[in-house]
Amino acid sequence: MSKEKGLAELLRDRGNRLTEPRLRVWEVLNRSGDHLTVEEIVSEVHKADPSINTSSVYRSLALFADLDLVRESSLGVDEGSRWELAHPDDHFHLVCRICGTVDHHEGDLVGQIREHLAVGHGFAAEEIDLVVTGVCARCATGEA
């Protein structure tokens, strides 16, 4: 598969090695594009190889983050942090309070925010972290 090959090369360029734990973590992240907690990732990884240690999962994630392959985000103060593949595009998160679904939303909204801040306030936005909690369309109609 071309994706795993790409990972191996990216790692080798930095003098890193493609190992079992890293491969498994990478697979899990790619398979479910969703936001995963470390606990969830570990659980998935263990289905392929129960001998992989949690520390290694943390270390793999940290390495991937350093390579800008994944992104750490938190969808709420009470929640632990979650991990997802790093999307190159601007996007934000819609969290439905009812069904718990987390939608990635790509679109011009983030660009609009960036421009608004640049023009209006002279603030050069680099990272825009937008998490919106509310009720999604499906739950709004399904209820009441």
Looking at 7-15, 19-27, 28-36, 127-135, which segment touches a copy of itself (CB under 8 A)? 127-135
Residue 9, binding choice from DNA, a copy of itself, none, Cβ under 5 to 8 Å by partner class: none
Q: Which is nearer to a copy of itself, 18 or 85 (CB)?
A: 85
Query: How is residue 30 written in tokens?
Result: 């790619």
Check residue 79 and report its DSSP letter: S
Residue 5's φ and ψ, nearest 5 degrees, are -60, -45
Among 81, 87, 106, 111, binds a copy of itself (CB under 8 A): 81
* Cα(102)–Cα(10) distance, integer angstroms: 29
Query: How is residue 44 written in tokens?
Result: 């998935």
* Cα(62)–Cα(84) distance, integer angstroms: 12
Chain residues 24-43 in contact with a copy of itself, contact rule CB under 8 A:
none
E strand or H helix at 142, and its extent?
A: helix 137-142
Q: For residue 106, state whether it binds a copy of itself (rule: CB under 8 A).
A: no
Looking at 18-26, 32-40, 42-50, 128-136, which segment touches a copy of itself (CB under 8 A)? 128-136
* Cα(69)–Cα(86) distance, integer angstroms: 5
Among 73, 86, 91, 102, binds a copy of itself (CB under 8 A): 73
- Interface with a copy of itself by CB under 8 A: which residues? 72-74, 77, 81, 94, 96-97, 105, 107, 109, 112-113, 116-117, 120-137, 140
